[in-house]
């Protein structure tokens, strides 16, 4: 029994990013300090004009939390500093409870056999004062701009505001196609954040019992976010591994993390993860509920589930996946499917419905769930329990019937000022993705869509981060707000650290490709900086600007390890004679040597001839 | 000098695929034997009804050639059997030359210092009889259905014709969106192949001096194909490695291979590759030409280039990348670009144009090039020398001006009955990909588009197989005929075997996702078979149906190595209690135990209730 490995300083990744420093940007309305990563760049040397020009540093969105700040002391047994406590207290609408409220939580706490693996420094939970609603949506509807909202405005702008210069070519970007999104042109304001949350078009998941979070937002009109799933299973893993997986996932860019543990000590594992997580944590409470009835779905009850919700809400879970849309009448619609029901939660509820021949208790008790959500500001992630698990089942009657119900439930949640997002598939071929996206926007009143992939083919197990990365990039472009990663182990096994990183990087690519396609303000800045560094052979800058600097450097050094190669005007791909970028620069030099500066050489020197050819309509064979 | 490592039986991958056998399907018109891979599946056991049902084997497209057929003896020093020789001879329009025609080829042949690395069993080359045109396009226009064309018809159908059963649910697939492609409904006929080649909408690259090829087709109305690039550079690699890279690339699914060698012994390396390659080989002749003038672009001449074309055509290169669209007047259009010219060939020609202040000699001598192409049936791959090398430069004036010229050149090539495809970018954000595709179709009269990616963001060096796999899947869906792979080493170094495999598998995914989205007949069959196996926990079948069976099995076994786990009704992802597929089956069993078969239970048992809910408009909260 006493085999559980606990986290320690040694097992947590803390290396700062190369060529980068952590900066904190101050807010104007509230005393918020927003962490970002500043990547410093080397100067550009113009070989023709013998001048060097500075390259301003690039500031990037940073989800890694205090772990990558060498100035912050981290003690995983203490947990992270409680950044949001003063903001929560200041609002004065919560009470600190003397004791936790859930029966199950109490029983775990009073069990001495668990002392050895219990997180020691948990504080007693907060709850809304009687009748109070502490959700950010409630504040937003009342016109309040909370510190959390301002934090987000500063964060989404990534200091581009300060760096903005009209004449800086790095600012040029393509006009995007956003399919009717209301992307704020210019820089995000706290008021815009408020209005989007009030409108229900964005969610700000942060439970009052998770004050360690650095606020972030999920909404169609903000940067596309990604989620990483972690969690042990009956078959494998430990608390130590799970906490490190969380730290590892946010290091590479996970905006939120879901703890999908279904194995031993779920309650304690979750506590360790939340206390050490600067990003919102999501869970699927039905998993733990099922453990409590030893896997017998038919023995689940509303009372047991309710106790589980309160247990987790008081630990600080920021969003709950609730499969309230898996309704009794929809189960028959899955009978002829190729892969039936592939959502764990969905299949559990379907089994319960059939066993009792009753309507899903999550649906019948939905308003009671809302009451719990708003007492802790837990955000709904309405689960797509009937999502397609194969290309064959994509966009079928079961999936869309459930989606319509999720739209109905969204209206109920909004009536209670409870923040709500909607989960999406699954397996969908490329040409059917937009139909799914458009239906979600229509049915759910633009509540944020949160999709798993979708996978665009079934035939590549071992590479489903890629089959799904394709669908994720597309659906992100079409309007999805958060992309749930898929790792190479999907359909095969539980992801290890390498799989987590591969999944996260793949999804950062998908999310960023979507931001570019939507024409999100400033999205192209980093691409432009990378391409400029590439054209100028600033190898170190290319590595440091990369989503994964370590791998970029490692691959380059694999064939050209010498330090000199870091300044070479070629790489091993083509060698010196065949480096097109080098030749292009030679072209310009060649011109320069003829006394004119390269651009004149190209512009003027050939301009006349160019005209002449155009006048001849480019005809040479006429 | 004598350090060159040569291929041997030991250095070539020959392991057959698990659970598979090589089959040869006989043609009806000509005596063609078309190789395919047949994957055998285990039976389905119905736990409820205690019956087992056979699962018919799945036949898949097989690019791996004789290497994966244990019954074929391979001797890399002899080269592959010359499958097409009788067909070529039968046409009687070629002559076997006594000696090779190119001056350079002769000089290499007569150099004893090269004996040790020379491929010994080269035969003297063929050429068209004076005035004859031996291109497949020429035959097609005359109404001939060649054995090559029939081979392709059989191959593209993947024996689905024989396996077709209306009532087989594996045949069900979604109606695709093909954006105006003329996809043949039903099964491909030899006459359809002919008509598409005659129309210029498809190419069949197979040089009469590369009779070892198993014919394949590249066209918008056929399965989307992929190309893998190999080749040494001044900095690295050997003949032995390059030949194995070719065999390795086709093993995983490369439909054609480009030899982009720019290092030592290019001529001899190419000979080894071609003689051992069952797939068409493409090259960029300007690379070798540049080597011949020691990397001094300005010293390139038409005569030297022409000799290089003949040298390579007589070795059997199946398609040439020719950068004839990089015209003098376009060079200025690249002056203000973020990354200038990023195509090696493009930058070489731009440099030549500037140095001589003359029009590109590939453009001015284009019709002479056509004369050479049709004498050996070499296919044009008109190079996009001005493709964008960064998101910033996507779809700009330089790129589109060149594309218009490539359209003009296509008409000239077609006038000579020379098969032609068009190369495309590059770096393009998602929302600009379709514009690029549509312009190519319009300007080039639907000549096959052959694109590199496109990469949808610049910021992920080390993962550009993924940034580009996203764009590749999309442009394949929109109408691109062949996708040139990008490996994880792009922008950083020369790919090793692992990179080649990662690139090929990623591109097989992109190509297949495109076939599904286009609604290509039978495309979904393998997905359906995979999903059925998945739902029925036939793990071995899942591995064997995967694009990469080895990795699928390895990932599964990483957490559950025991043989028993191969029949377990769960995997380590969720464990037994949480396997949704298991629960779904339990649901059906549960129903069955109540005396009714599961579908009735779901259909009938709940049907009335379902109706009732629908009548109430799903309202519970009204």
Alpha carbons within 13 angstroms on the beta-carbon side of residue A209 total: 32
* Residue of chain A minimizing CA distance to B478: A431
pLDDT reported for residue B456: 98
Question: Do the Cβ atoms of B458 and A603 come within 8 Å?
Answer: no
Sign of CA dihedral B430, B431, B436, B441: positive
**DSSP run (H or E) holding B452:** strand B449-452
Annotated binding residue B353: no
Question: Do the Cβ atoms of A509 and B591 come within 8 Å?
Answer: no
Confidence of residue B610 (pLDDT cuts 50, 70, 90): very low
pLDDT at B345 over 70: yes
* Residue of chain B minimizing CA distance to A352: B587
Interface probe with B: pick from A428, A434, A463, most Cβ of B within 10 Å: A463
Tokens standing for residue B466: 């993924």
Distance CA A229, CA A253 (A): 13
pLDDT at B574 over 50: yes
Contact (Cβ atoms closer than 8 angstroms) between residue B358 and residue B376: no
Shortest Cα–Cα distance, B125 to chain A (Å)? 30
Distance CA B70, CA B82 (A): 18
Distance CA B14, CA B244 (A): 10
Distance CA A340, CA A353 (A): 15
Annotated binding residue B164: no
Shortest Cα–Cα distance, A546 to chain B (Å)? 5
B481-502 pLDDT tens trace: 999 999 999 999 889 999 999 9
Tokens standing for residue A51: 């001048």
Read off the pLDDT of each residue in A559-569 and give the average, rounded to a whole number.
76
Question: Do the Cβ atoms of A528 and B392 come within 8 Å?
Answer: yes
- How far are the Cα atoms of B102, B183, B197, B218, B378 from residue B193, in angstroms, in the given order? 34, 11, 6, 10, 18
Tokens standing for residue B84: 């097409």
pLDDT at B578 over 80: no
Q: Which residues in chain B are closer than 8 Å to A172, comparing Cβ atoms?
A: 392
Annotated binding residue A465: no
Read off the pLDDT of each residue in A208-229 and give the average, rounded to a whole number.
98
Question: Do the Cβ atoms of B599 and A430 come within 8 Å?
Answer: no
Helix, strand, coil percent values for chain A (each to nearest 5): 45, 10, 45
Q: Which residues in chain A are closer than 8 Å to B543, comparing Cβ atoms?
A: 461
Shortest Cα–Cα distance, B141 to chain A (Å)? 24
Q: Which residues in chain A are closer than 8 Å to B583, comparing Cβ atoms?
A: 297, 341, 344, 347-348, 350-351
Tokens standing for residue B143: 């109404």
pLDDT at A93 over 80: yes
Confidence of residue B568 (pLDDT cuts 50, 70, 90): confident
Any alpha helices (H) in A276-396, and if so which ranges?
285-292, 302-315, 344-356, 361-364, 366-376
pLDDT at A549 over 90: yes
Backbone dihedral region of A491: left (phi > 0), alpha (psi from -120 to 50 degrees) or beta? Answer: left
Tokens standing for residue B327: 């015209």
Work out the number of other CB atoms within 10 angstroms of the CB of residue A160. 17
Question: Do the Cβ atoms of A459 and B546 come within 8 Å?
Answer: yes
Q: Alpha-carbon Rg of chain A, whole angstroms? A: 26
pLDDT reported for residue A165: 75
Annotated binding residue B450: yes
Question: Do the Cβ atoms of A236 and B559 come within 8 Å?
Answer: yes
* Residue of chain B minimizing CA distance to A575: B234
pLDDT at B164 over 80: no
Counting DSSP H helices and E strands in chain B, the numbers are 22, 17
* Residue of chain B minimizing CA distance to A465: B466
Instruction: Say if residue B256 is preceded by a cis peptide, omega within 30 of 0.
Output: no
Confidence of residue B620 (pLDDT cuts 50, 70, 90): very low
pTM of the complete model: 0.94
Question: Do the Cβ atoms of A601 and B354 come within 8 Å?
Answer: yes
- How far are the Cα atoms of A500, A544, A578, B455 from residue A530, in angstroms, in the given order? 25, 9, 21, 14
Of all residues in chain B, what percent carry a pLDDT higher than 70?
A: 90
Question: Do the Cβ atoms of B262 and A354 come within 8 Å?
Answer: no
Shortest Cα–Cα distance, A183 to chain B (Å)? 16
* 3-state SS track over B35-55: EEEEECCCCEEECCCCEEECC
Say how many Å lie between the first and final Cα of chain B, rounded. Answer: 87
Contact (Cβ atoms closer than 8 angstroms) between residue B427 and residue B454: yes
Helix, strand, coil percent values for chain B (each to nearest 5): 45, 10, 45
Distance CA A59, CA B257 (A): 41
Q: Which residues in chain B are closer than 8 Å to A415, comparing Cβ atoms?
A: none
pLDDT at A1 over 50: no
- Using CB atoms, which residue from A463, A488, A610 is nearest to B332? A610
A454-474 pLDDT tens trace: 999 999 999 999 999 999 999
Tokens standing for residue A420: 């709500």
Confidence of residue B604 (pLDDT cuts 50, 70, 90): low
Question: Do the Cβ atoms of A344 and B291 come within 8 Å?
Answer: no
pLDDT reported for residue A232: 79
**ipTM of predicted complex:** 0.94
Question: Do the Cβ atoms of B429 and A516 come within 8 Å?
Answer: yes
pLDDT reported for residue A236: 64
pLDDT at B599 over 60: no
* Residue of chain B minimizing CA distance to A174: B392
- Using CB atoms, which residue from B338, B518, B527 is nearest to A458? B527
Annotated binding residue B423: yes
pLDDT at A423 over 60: yes
Q: Which residues in chain A are closer than 8 Å to B571, comparing Cβ atoms?
A: 491-493
Confidence of residue B615 (pLDDT cuts 50, 70, 90): very low
- Lookup result for tokens 């694109």: B451
pLDDT reported for residue A562: 79
> How high does pLDDT run on average in chain B?
91
Annotated binding residue B553: no
The better pLDDT of the pair B5, A532 is held by A532
Read off the pLDDT of each residue in B51-67 and give the average, rounded to a whole number.
94
Q: Where are the beta strands (DSSP E) in A244-354?
A: 256-259, 281-283, 319-322
Task: Go through B223-235 and write b for each residue having 16 or more CB atoms within 10 A of its CB, e for each that does not.
Answer: bbbbbbbbbbbbb
Contact (Cβ atoms closer than 8 angstroms) between residue A456 and residue A470: yes
Distance CA A513, CA A483 (A): 12
pLDDT reported for residue A208: 98
Question: Do the Cβ atoms of A513 and B577 come within 8 Å?
Answer: no
pLDDT reported for residue A611: 43
pLDDT reported for residue B588: 66
- Lookup result for tokens 């090398």: B389
- Lookup result for tokens 């990563």: A37
Alpha carbons within 13 angstroms on the beta-carbon side of residue A619 total: 5
pLDDT at A614 over 50: no
* Residue of chain B minimizing CA distance to A329: B610
B386-413 pLDDT tens trace: 999 999 999 999 999 999 999 999 999 9
Work out the number of other CB atoms within 10 angstroms of the CB of residue B104. 18
pLDDT at A132 over 70: yes
**DSSP run (H or E) holding A33:** strand A33-39
* Residue of chain B minimizing CA distance to A330: B610
Confidence of residue A335 (pLDDT cuts 50, 70, 90): confident
Q: Cα torsion at B411, B395, A471, A486 (round to 10°)?
A: 120
pLDDT reported for residue B430: 98
pLDDT at A104 over 70: yes
Contact (Cβ atoms closer than 8 angstroms) between residue A288 and residue B574: no
Q: Which residues in chain B are closer than 8 Å to A357, comparing Cβ atoms?
A: 606, 609
- Using CB atoms, which residue from A328, A509, A602 is nearest to B467? A509
Sign of CA dihedral B502, B212, B91, B312: positive
pLDDT at A212 over 90: yes
pLDDT at B538 over 90: yes
Shortest Cα–Cα distance, B493 to chain A (Å)? 5
Which of the residue ranges A31-45, A79-93, B119-133, B158-172 would you say has the lowest mean pLDDT? B158-172
Read off the pLDDT of each residue in A570-597 and give the average, rounded to a whole number.
64
* Residue of chain A minimizing CA distance to B619: A408
Shortest Cα–Cα distance, A476 to chain B (Å)? 11
Annotated binding residue A520: no
Tokens standing for residue B274: 């071609």
Q: Which residues in chain A are closer than 8 Å to B407, comparing Cβ atoms?
A: none
Question: Do the Cβ atoms of B491 and A262 come within 8 Å?
Answer: no
- Using CB atoms, which residue from A458, A555, A581 is nearest to B342? A581
pLDDT at B609 over 70: no
Shortest Cα–Cα distance, B418 to chain A (Å)? 17
Question: Do the Cβ atoms of A573 and B492 come within 8 Å?
Answer: yes
Q: Where are the beta strands (DSSP E) in B197-352?
A: 202-203, 218-219, 225-230, 256-259, 281-283, 319-322
Distance CA B126, CA B113 (A): 27
Q: Which residues in chain A are closer than 8 Å to B505, comparing Cβ atoms?
A: 460, 463
Phi, psi of B65 (to 5 degrees): 70, -165
pLDDT reported for residue B617: 37
- Using CB atoms, which residue from A233, A430, A559 is nearest to B517? A430
Interface probe with B: pick from A167, A389, A470, most Cβ of B within 10 Å: A470
Annotated binding residue B379: no
- Using CB atoms, which residue from A431, A463, A606 is nearest to B331? A606
- Using CB atoms, which residue from A460, A546, A613 is nearest to B462? A546
Distance CA B612, CA A468 (A): 38
pLDDT reported for residue B151: 98
pLDDT reported for residue B570: 66
Confidence of residue A616 (pLDDT cuts 50, 70, 90): very low
pLDDT reported for residue B372: 98
Of all residues in chain A, what percent carry a pLDDT higher than 90?
A: 78
pLDDT reported for residue B145: 98
- Using CB atoms, which residue from A347, A462, A494 is nearest to B580? A347
Read off the pLDDT of each residue in B364-378 and give the average, rounded to a whole number.
98
pLDDT at A596 over 80: no
Please give the angle made by the CA atoms of A411, A412 and A415, to the nearest 5 degrees. Answer: 85
Read off the pLDDT of each residue in B206-227 and give the average, rounded to a whole number.
98
Provide the CA B434 distance to its chain's centre, in angstroms. 21
Q: B344-356 and A580-592 helices cross at what angle (nearest 10)?
A: 20
Q: Where are the beta strands (DSSP E) in B218-323?
A: 218-219, 225-230, 256-259, 281-283, 319-322
Phi, psi of B24 (to 5 degrees): -125, 120
Annotated binding residue B409: no
Which of the residue ranges B1-15, B122-136, B251-265 would you say has the lowest mean pLDDT? B1-15
Distance CA B543, CA A460 (A): 9
Distance CA B547, CA B510 (A): 12
pLDDT at A285 over 90: yes
Q: Cα torsion at A582, A588, A594, A599 (round to 10°)?
A: -170
pLDDT at B576 over 70: no
Counting DSSP H helices and E strands in chain A, the numbers are 22, 17
Tokens standing for residue A62: 């940073």
Distance CA B161, CA B28 (A): 13
Shortest Cα–Cα distance, A38 to chain B (Å)? 15
pLDDT at A434 over 60: yes
Read off the pLDDT of each residue in A159-168 and give the average, rounded to a whole number.
76
Distance CA B175, CA B188 (A): 18
pLDDT reported for residue A568: 73
Q: Which residues in chain A are closer than 8 Å to B461, comparing Cβ atoms?
A: 530, 542-543, 546, 552, 555
pLDDT at B471 over 70: yes
Which of the residue ranges A549-553, B290-294, B550-554, B604-608 would you say has the lowest mean pLDDT? B604-608
pLDDT at B357 over 90: no
Any alpha helices (H) in B115-215, and if so which ranges?
136-141, 147-157, 160-163, 190-199
B104-133 pLDDT tens trace: 999 999 999 999 999 988 889 999 999 999
CB pairs under 8 A between A and B: 495
A349-369 pLDDT tens trace: 998 998 888 999 999 999 999
């Amino acid at each position: 029994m006493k085999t559980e490995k606990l986290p320690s300083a040694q097992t947590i990744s803390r290396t700062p990013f190369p060529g980068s420093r952590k900066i904190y940007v101050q807010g104007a309305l509230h005393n918020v300090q927003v962490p970002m990563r500043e990547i410093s760049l080397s100067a550009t040397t113009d070989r023709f004009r013998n001048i060097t020009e500075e390259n301003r540093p690039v500031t990037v969105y940073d989800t890694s939390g205090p772990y990558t700040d060498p100035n912050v002391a981290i003690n995983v047994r203490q947990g992270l500093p409680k950044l949001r406590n003063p903001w929560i207290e200041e609002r004065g609408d919560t009470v600190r409870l003397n004791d936790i409220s859930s029966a199950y939580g109490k029983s775990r706490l009073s069990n001495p056999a668990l002392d050895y693996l219990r997180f020691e420094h948990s504080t007693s939970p907060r709850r809304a004062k009687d009748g109070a609603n502490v959700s950010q949506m409630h504040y937003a509807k009342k016109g309040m701009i909370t510190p959390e909202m301002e934090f987000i405005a500063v964060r989404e702008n990534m200091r581009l505001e300060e760096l903005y210069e009209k004449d800086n070519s790095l600012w040029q970007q393509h006009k995007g196609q956003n399919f009717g999104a209301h992307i704020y042109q210019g820089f995000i304001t706290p008021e815009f954040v408020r209005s989007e949350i009030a409108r229900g078009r964005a969610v700000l998941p942060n439970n009052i019992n998770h004050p360690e979070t650095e606020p972030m937002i999920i909404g169609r009109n903000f940067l596309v976010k990604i989620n990483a799933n972690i969690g042990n299973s009956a078959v494998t893993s430990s608390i130590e591994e799970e906490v490190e997986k969380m730290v590892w996932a946010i290091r590479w860019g996970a905006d939120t993390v879901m703890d999908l543990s279904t194995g031993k000590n779920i309650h304690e594992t979750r506590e360790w993860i939340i206390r050490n997580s600067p990003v919102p944590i999501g869970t699927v409470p039905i998993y733990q509920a099922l453990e409590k009835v030893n896997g017998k779905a038919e023995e689940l009850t509303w009372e047991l589930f309710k106790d589980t919700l309160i247990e987790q809400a008081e630990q600080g879970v920021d969003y709950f996946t609730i499969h309230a849309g898996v309704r009794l009448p929809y189960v028959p619609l899955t009978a002829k499917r190729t892969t039936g029901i592939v959502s764990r939660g969905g299949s559990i509820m379907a089994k319960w419905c059939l066993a009792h021949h009753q309507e899903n208790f999550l649906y019948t008790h939905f308003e009671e769930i809302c009451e719990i959500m708003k007492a802790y500001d837990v955000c709904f992630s309405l689960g797509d329990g009937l999502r397609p698990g194969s290309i064959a089942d994509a966009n079928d009657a079961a999936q869309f019937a459930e989606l319509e119900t999720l739209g109905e439930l969204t209206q109920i949640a909004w009536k209670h000022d409870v923040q709500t997002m909607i989960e999406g598939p699954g397996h969908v071929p490329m040409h059917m993705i937009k139909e799914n996206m458009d239906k979600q926007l229509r049915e759910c009143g633009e509540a944020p869509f949160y999709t798993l992939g979708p996978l665009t083919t079934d035939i590549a197990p071992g590479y489903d981060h890629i089959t799904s990365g394709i669908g994720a990039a597309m659906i992100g472009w079409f309007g999805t707000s958060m992309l749930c990663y898929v790792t190479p182990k999907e359909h095969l096994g539980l992801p290890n650290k390498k799989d987590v990183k591969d999944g996260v990087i793949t999804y950062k690519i998908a999310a960023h490709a979507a931001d570019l396609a939507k024409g999100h303000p400033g999205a192209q800045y980093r691409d432009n900086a990378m391409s400029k560094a590439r054209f100028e052979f600033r190898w170190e800058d290319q590595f440091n600007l990369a989503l994964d600097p370590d791998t970029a450097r490692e691959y380059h050094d694999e064939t050209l390890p010498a330090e000199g190669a870091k300044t070479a005007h070629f790489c091993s791909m083509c060698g010196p004679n065949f480096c097109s970028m080098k030749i292009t620069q030679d072209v310009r030099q060649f011109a320069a040597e003829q006394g004119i500066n390269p651009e004149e050489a190209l512009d003027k020197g050939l301009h006349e001839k160019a005209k002449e050819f155009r006048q001849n309509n480019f005809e040479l064979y006429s």
